[in-house]
Amino acid sequence: MDRDVKRPVLTLVVLLIGSSVTLAGSDTITTGSLFEEMVDLKALATFPSPAYRTIQFSSYDRRSTLPGGPDWFANSDGFGREPIPNFEKVLREPDDKGVGEYLVADVAGPGAIVRLWTAAIAGQIRMFIDDANEPVFDGSANDFFHRPYDHFEQTKQLDTDRFRRTVYQRDASYAPIPFAKRLRVVWTGNIQEIHFYELQVRLYDKGASVVSFRPEDIAQCRETIDKVTQALDDPDQHVSPRAKRYDQRFEASLDPAEAKTILEMEGSRAIGRLNLQLVAKDMDMAQRQTVLQITFDGYPWPQVQSPVGDFFGAAPGINPYTSLPFTVQPDGTMVCRFVMPFARSCKIALWNGGSQPVSARGSVVTSPHDWTDATMHFRARWRVDHDLIASNRDVQDLPFVLAHGRGVYVGTGVYLMNPSSVPTPYGNWWGEGDEKIFVDDDKRPSTFGTGSEDYFNYSWSSPDIFLFPYCGQPRNDGPGNRGFVTNYRWHMLDALPFSDNIRFYMELFSHERTPGMSYARIGYHYGRPGMTDDFQPIKPADLEMPLPPERWQPAARMGAANSVFFAAEDIMADTPGTQFDERRLWAGGKLLLWNPKKKGEKKSFTIPIKSAGKKQINMVLAMTPQSGKIAASLDGEPVKLSGRDTIDLHRPYRILSRRFALPTSELSAGDHTLTLELKGTSEGVRNPEIGIDFIYVQNR
């Protein structure tokens, strides 16, 4: 789903949360206090007390036991028929119908479920809290992992629409479920059927005071929950620094290779909001080649060092989105709400690592801050590997953050250029690999995932643009997952505290061997003074903008196997009203643009079929800010495009390449006519365009 990008606002409203169930600052953890934490960015800057450890139960391949060993990259993680059941324990062997009982998790409290996810899971879940004989949840496993609170009648008292688009995010749920003594989750189902799952739990230090979840909590915390979901739904309007604010503005111009300090501050303070806007002729280049550096308390190297666009989570270019800690507005204004405390000083600098002049303007909002033994510096470590060979055989673990010291991991962004020539998600998928996060004395990862998209809360290698408070895909060029792809995920309830060290890896595991991939990533975390890591200064070569292959051509492999491809201009029946758009996104480097003048106007294409048989015709079309709505017919008969009578190709702020499929049908040998008709436009589109990149026929 897409969350609408909010228009710039001039006034921020302070979020004040209270309820009759929990008091802010109380040491007791309750359902209400966990909801409050979902929007408490300031709390992330202080090492948690009571301390906790975040662990994950998942359907990862149980053969992966020895780090770096023979089965370290095994990938049977939930499709069914795995060599080893993807659970903690087999409680009851399958019966004659194949249904058995399996242990998902059994942990001693105090603790809380802080995140659930599934791509799909059959069967039933029973969740027991503490020593209860009766389950708190007993129902569909798919419902449990996607929307557990919907199981309870009390949820109807909430603003349910807003709850479902904020607490439930894509394929994940962040609805907290605390437990004082014990959590036990049991799956009943057929091990041969699909059963992907991830369940993240906070385990608090013994002695922490936790009030176990009851369905009645939902109604009693209604006011708190509704205020939290309001803040998650529109953080630009409802999240702001709570203390006395001090605003400082800055402007700077940077010549190529120039570095400049744009702001220096003294005293014990905290940045509560950072706004930054770049202006340059080539904004994609400027966002990657202008480096933000923030240095706290006189350290020799900045704690934050990242290309500007990557730091704000939506590069390359301007891809508007709104999340809890970051907003990117359509005019290029970028906002960071992560709280950044410092004990003595802060210096913000920019370095222009490109070949064009860049200007910057923005502001910071700071407030007084008491530095304590638990306060941490904000850190953002960016790194990139160009010209990688992604593979399904030579899989590799890419390091995101390797740090020694005391801190909390709070977010991840990835920025890829995927040069695959397969035009379908099955074939050009880059993210089959799992996250593997070692914390402190882990001998194997305490967070072991089931796929990169699963970590980012989606599934099935989806190319959709989606934007949620904690996760999103603000850029995915397509078709499928080729071109530039950006994903983000912010850890709030599921933050990862570490007392001694953290090692965060993500596998690079693609559907097929793909040379020439560029993979940039950033790990956001907090660290106590004295933390060391594998930091390396950014080099000019790192900032080179990777470009998709020039004049690429689609390949008839994997999801596009048994296909014949036609450039749209080669099979167009007539040329009036057409022109070309040239860029690397399109096959052959150019896109046929049809500019219909009025509703009902048509454009036809002649598709030659060499041999009769069952075929599927696919169209790869452009989705742009100027695109119109279309319908299709084949040989004069109306046909659906990807199951719809009419397709709206309009997408504000973005230019995407997407595949649309006609129903599979029996086609005779000879020429067939595919006709597109303009059915109208979205509001604000005055001169509609329809971009047709290529058409392909696949034997079925």
* pLDDT per residue as tens digits for the range 263-313: 999 999 999 999 999 999 999 999 999 999 999 999 999 999 999 999 999
Which residues, other chains included, contact 192 with Cβ-Cβ below 8 Å and sequence gap of 6+? 80, 81, 98
Whether the ω angle into residue 50 lies within 30 degrees of 0, i.e. cis, is yes
Domains 244-368 and 562-699 share a fold: yes
Half-sphere exposure of 168 (CA within 13 A, CB side): 19
Element (H or E) spanning 285, and its range? helix 283-289
pLDDT at 139: 98
Element (H or E) spanning 229, and its range? helix 222-233
pLDDT per residue over 143-154, tens digit each?
A: 999 999 999 999
| CA 146 from centre of chain | 16
pLDDT at 73: 97
The model's pTM is 0.95
- Tokens at residue 157, please? 């008292």
**3-state DSSP helix/strand/coil percent for the chain, to nearest 5?**
10, 45, 45
The 10 Å Cβ neighbour count of residue 391 is 17
Domain spans, the chain: 31-238, 244-368, 379-533, 562-699
| Cα dihedral across residues 40, 45, 51, 55: positive or negative | positive
The 10 Å Cβ neighbour count of residue 81 is 8
Half-sphere exposure of 641 (CA within 13 A, CB side): 23
Indicate the CATH number for domain 562-699.
2.60.120.260
Half-sphere exposure of 340 (CA within 13 A, CB side): 26
pLDDT at 365: 95
Q: Alpha-carbon Rg of the chain, whole angstroms?
A: 26
Whether the ω angle into residue 688 lies within 30 degrees of 0, i.e. cis, is no
The 10 Å Cβ neighbour count of residue 677 is 19
pLDDT under 50: residue ranges of the chain: 1-25
Q: Report angle CA 570, 576, 580 to the nearest 5 degrees.
A: 55
Strand-pairing partners, residue 621, are: 658, 692
| CA 561 from centre of chain | 29
The CA distance from 496 to 492, in Å, is 9
- Tokens at residue 170, please? 């894509």
The CA distance from 546 to 325, in Å, is 27
User: Phi and psi (nearest 5°) for 277?
Assistant: -135, 130
pLDDT per residue over 235-273, tens digit each?
A: 999 987 655 678 999 999 999 999 999 999 999 999 999
* Top-level class of domain 244-368: mainly beta
Which residues, other chains included, contact 131 with Cβ-Cβ below 8 Å and sequence gap of 6+? 181, 182
pLDDT at 23: 37
Strand-pairing partners, residue 515, are: 389
Element (H or E) spanning 225, and its range? helix 222-233
- Cβ(630)–Cβ(679) under 8 Å? yes
pLDDT at 14: 37
Enter the DSSP assignment of 84.
Answer: S
- Cβ(410)–Cβ(495) under 8 Å? yes
pLDDT at 7: 34
The CA distance from 630 to 690, in Å, is 8
The CA distance from 306 to 288, in Å, is 9
pLDDT at 27: 87
Q: Tell me the CA distances in angstroms from 649 to 269, 657, 687, one per residue in order.
A: 48, 10, 14
Indicate the CATH number for domain 379-533.
2.60.120.1390
- Tokens at residue 321, please? 């989105």
What is the 3 state secondary structure string of 497-559?
A: EECCEEEEEEEEECCCCEEEEEEEEEEEEEECCCCEECCCCCCHHHHCCCCCCCCCCCCCCHH
The CA distance from 188 to 27, in Å, is 37
Q: Which of 124, 145, 132, 245 is nearest to 198 (CA)?
A: 145
Q: Report angle CA 113, 401, 450 to the nearest 5 degrees.
A: 45
The CA distance from 471 to 236, in Å, is 16
Q: Tell me the CA distances in angstroms from 259 to 252, 284, 349, 357, 358, one per residue in order.
A: 10, 19, 7, 12, 11
3-class SS at 211? coil
